[in-house]
């Protein structure tokens, strides 16, 4: 069984494994820099599960910022029936792609 963690990144919870790529909301760190994810909620190492209260003490994950990008385009359409009101637009979220390089418990 592979070692993984549940980490809190930008207010959301993500499952992180070594070598995995994770897409998260835009982080304020430069491309190519290394960051430490220390808000770990759960650790599963060789079937042994540790749950934090709220975070697991001493657990962290190292990640490298691969790139900053934008998500796919989402179309927004609004209409009110019998009023002649129609409005359309698009929206794209800013995101950061992280590569998890190491897990430490």
Q: What residue segments make up the domains of the chain, in order of their start?
A: 4-104
The pLDDT tens digits for 25-43 are 999 999 999 999 999 999 9
Mean pLDDT of 1-12: 88
DSSP 84: T
Task: Note the pLDDT of residue 79.
Answer: 97
20 φ/ψ sector (left φ>0, alpha ψ -120 to 50, else beta): beta
Return the pLDDT at 105.
81
Q: What is residue 88's predicted lDDT score, i.e. its pLDDT? A: 97
- Token pair of 72 as six digits: 């796919």
1 or 27: whose pLDDT is higher?
Answer: 27
pLDDT tens profile 57-91: 989 999 999 999 999 999 999 999 999 999 999 99
Q: Output the pLDDT for position 1.
A: 57
Is there a contact between 17 and 3 (Cβ–Cβ < 8 Å)?
yes
């Amino acid at each position: 069984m592979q070692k993984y963690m549940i980490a809190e990144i930008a207010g959301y919870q993500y499952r992180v494994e070594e070598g995995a790529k994770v897409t998260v909301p835009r982080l304020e760190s430069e491309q190519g820099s290394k960051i430490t994810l220390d808000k770990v909620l759960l650790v599963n190492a060789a079937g042994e599960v540790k749950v934090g209260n709220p975070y697991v003490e001493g657990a962290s994950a190292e990640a490298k910022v691969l790139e900053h990008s934008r998500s796919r385009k989402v179309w927004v359409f609004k209409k009110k029936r019998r009023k002649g009101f129609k409005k359309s637009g698009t929206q794209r979220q800013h995101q950061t792609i992280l590569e998890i390089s190491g897990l430490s418990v």
